[in-house]
Amino acid sequence: MTDQNIIEISGVEKRFGTFVAVRDLNLELKEGEFFSLLGPSGCGKTTALRMIAGFQDHDAGSIRIAGQDMANIPANKRPANMVFQSYAIFPHLNVGDNVAFGLRKLGLGKVEMQNRVAEALEMVELGGLQSRKADELSGGQRQRVALARALVMRPKVLLLDEPLSALDKNLREAMQLEMRRLQQKLGITFVMVTHDQYEAMTMSDRIGVMFQGKLEQVDRPEVLYARPCNRRVASFIGGMNFLEARVRADNGASVEVDLQGFGPLTIDVNPNAISRSPDLLAGIRPEQLEISATRPEDYDASLQGIVSDIAFYGESVHYYVRAEGVEDPIAVAVPNYFHTVDYKRGDQVWLGVQNASVIDLGAREG
Amino acid sequence: MAGLLKSEAGKGLALSAPASLYVGLLVAGPLGILVAYSFWTQTYVEIDKTLTWANYLEAATDPLVRHLVLRSIFIAGAVTAATVALAYPIAYFIAFRTNKKTLWLLLITIPFWSSYLLRVFSWKLILGFNGVMNSALLSLGVIDEPLTFLLYNEFAVVLTLAHAWAPFAILPIYVSLQKIDRSLLEAATDLGCSKLERFIRVTLPLTVPGIIAASLIIFIPTVGDYVTPSLVGGSQGKMIANLIQVQFGPANNWPLGATLSLVAMAAVGVVAILFVLLATALGRRIR
């Protein structure tokens, strides 16, 4: 990654009739960055990607790629290539001709073209499959052909629309790592649209979270997880327990609060949480809570409750604990130590939490 | 029997039996009779059932037969080319450029609502010596005397049939266009194609099956068409079917008529196969 901006989007808006698909989008992407747009379906992330690609024009604002304004540049002239959600492999062409499709426009010699196709196919580990027919490819192979077909153009920006959503879980996880490796090796800027938070977190340098056409937060995955800016972002990325917190004293960098169910705690002020008010919304990640049969010591606050539900995930077990004064059951994630922690539904348990584990999510109505 | 009906193959056979029986009796049967006749000889009112190649020899050597077969294939080829060329833009419009697909599909079937014969007759009214076209042009002062090249020639046959066949060409081409995944078109654009290049490199090759289907549906029955050439074709618009009709009618030579029918069928078959091979090969060449 360099400090050079490759994509600069400012004030971009897109309307379909009266529906605003994307509002006031501002984003700067660095050269060589792996960026993900994350959000639920219909949040405008795909529209944003299609505006960068040129398949959709924007109603306001500007999009610049490599310093050049894209306003009057059609999709076929932009220095960006796309991997489509359906992969869009040309069914009438074999693998080699699919990859060579864009190259034929460049007037390369026959040998050079063959070399570049071969090189691109090697890159995605499909070396030697040039003459394979499109309908003889597996889902994973189709994905790789789509990737090779776009990368062979040596674009400044590669746009990926839900590139892994059609693959099964194991293949998807393998491809996540492989695509990340490939991106770092090539140093090309990748812009990926996904609704899968884990995919976004494992692959990206930075993630932009979108809701209802609005980009809510742009940050590194670790920051997004530890300091989400509001309730929507917090609930979309990872699990989160939401509790009310009444501010008793504001110390500037931290506030003393009375946390629903847990009592007095001192929590750090979240610089990403936009609005401040006397009543805060606080979040606690399920894996940050300690569950025990007796009142936990060495914890800043604790509460007592009853196990209402248990969900087994293999690598971890989630206990849902009902406590007095808290409406929703509190989720606690415990790594699966092969039943050294084993509570039954209806058991009386204690939950402990540290100051540092409680996240300030700004105003409660935020 | 019950066991047979339970198996997939048995069910398939049972379901297709009525159609197979129908086709077997009404197509294969007459065709067999036709083949038999072609090896017999007409002796005034009797049929001499001694097997002979004489009819085929006559068909092969008679210049009139060769001329009419070639002209039939040429006219059918022209009708097919004209119809497909006119149908493609309409099918394209319905598939890509309108939201009222059902309405348009309904509109293009309107010619079917009137009899085929009536439609041919109306072309006669339009193209005739004192017809709509000539009267209009005369009254507008564009021409001084009626045009005579409009009716009773190959042109009139091609025009009339191209109009009559239009829906048969539009529908299969529309279906093949409709099937194209829109993301393929975007991918072509993304990889640098202009709209025209995209059409030539993606849309056209993917609609080759539709073009072939449309062409065969039109070409095969047109070669053997008898009504249109006799009504609007005049003497230079006559086709092989008119000669076959003469053999079964006025000339009363059924064996020769049968032979000519089979020769025409064989010619159509050969041309159709060559066309399919050629069109498929051309479609594959586009990369």
pLDDT tens-digit readout, B170-215: 999 999 999 999 999 999 999 999 999 999 999 999 999 999 999 9
Long-range contacts of A152-155 (CB under 8 A, 24+ apart): A152/A99, A152/A100, A152/A102, A152/A103, A152/A116, A152/A117, A152/A119, A152/A120, A153/A81, A153/A102, A153/A103, A153/B191, A153/B192, A155/A79, A155/A80, A155/A81, A155/A188
CA-angle at B78, arms to B73 and B79, nearest 5°: 95
Asked whether residue B12 is domain-assigned, the answer is: no
pLDDT tens-digit readout, A18-74: 999 999 999 999 999 999 999 999 999 999 999 999 999 999 999 999 999 999 999
pLDDT value of position B233: 86
Strands A68-69 and A60-65, by their bridges, are antiparallel
Q: Is A165 on the interface with B (CB under 8 A)?
A: no
pLDDT value of position A366: 43
Asked whether residue B169 is domain-assigned, the answer is: yes
Distance CA A64, CA A157 (A): 12
Structure tokens at A177: 């790592």
Give the nearest chain B residue to A100 (CA atoms).
Answer: B287
pLDDT value of position B130: 86
Number of domains in chain B: 1
pLDDT tens-digit readout, B91-120: 999 999 999 999 999 998 887 888 889 989
Distance CA B216, CA B211 (A): 9
- A10, amino acid identity: S
- A365, amino acid identity: E
- B71, amino acid identity: R
Asked whether residue B154 is domain-assigned, the answer is: yes
Sort residue B152 into left (φ over 0), alpha (ψ -120 to 50) or beta: left
The number of CA neighbours under 13 Å toward the Cβ of B179 is 14
Distance CA A142, CA A164 (A): 11
pLDDT value of position B177: 97
Nearest to B121 by CA among B246, B230, B244: B230
CB contact under 8 A, B287 and A97: yes
Asked whether residue B103 is domain-assigned, the answer is: yes
Asked whether residue B11 is domain-assigned, the answer is: no
A310 pLDDT more than 70: yes
pLDDT tens-digit readout, A220-269: 999 999 999 999 999 999 899 999 999 888 888 889 999 999 999 999 98
CB contact under 8 A, A90 and B184: yes
What are the two backbone dihedrals, phi and then psi, of residue A330, each rounded to the nearest 5 degrees? -90, 130
Sort residue B270 into left (φ over 0), alpha (ψ -120 to 50) or beta: alpha
pLDDT value of position B237: 81
CB contact under 8 A, B190 and A76: yes
Q: Please report which confidence band the pLDDT of residue A181 belongs to, taking 50, 70 and 90 as the band edges.
A: very high
CA of residue A306 relative to chain centroid, distance:
34
Nearest to A265 by CA among A354, A154, A364, A144: A354
At B109, which CATH number? 1.10.3720.10
pLDDT value of position B235: 82
Q: Best residue in A76, A81, A142, A157 to probe B by mutation, most B CBs within 10 Å?
A: A76
Distance from CA of A117 to the nearest CA of B (A): 14
pLDDT value of position A277: 67
Q: Which domains are delineated in chain A?
A: 5-227 (3.40.50.300), 232-363 (2.40.50.140)
Q: Report ipTM for this prediction.
A: 0.87
* Helix/strand/coil for A130: coil
Asked whether residue B281 is domain-assigned, the answer is: yes
Q: Is A97 on the interface with B (CB under 8 A)?
A: yes
Q: Which domain holds residue B253?
A: 43-285
Structure tokens at B221: 């029955």
From chain B, the residues in CB contact with A104 under 8 A are: 287
B48 pLDDT more than 50: yes
Q: Best residue in B176, B183, B191 to probe A by mutation, most A CBs within 10 Å?
A: B191
Nearest to B191 by CA among B97, B285, B287: B287
Give the nearest chain A residue to B205 (CA atoms).
Answer: A92
Distance CA A239, CA A257 (A): 22
Nearest to A219 by CA among A204, A239, A231, A230: A204
Asked whether residue B218 is domain-assigned, the answer is: yes
- B223, amino acid identity: V
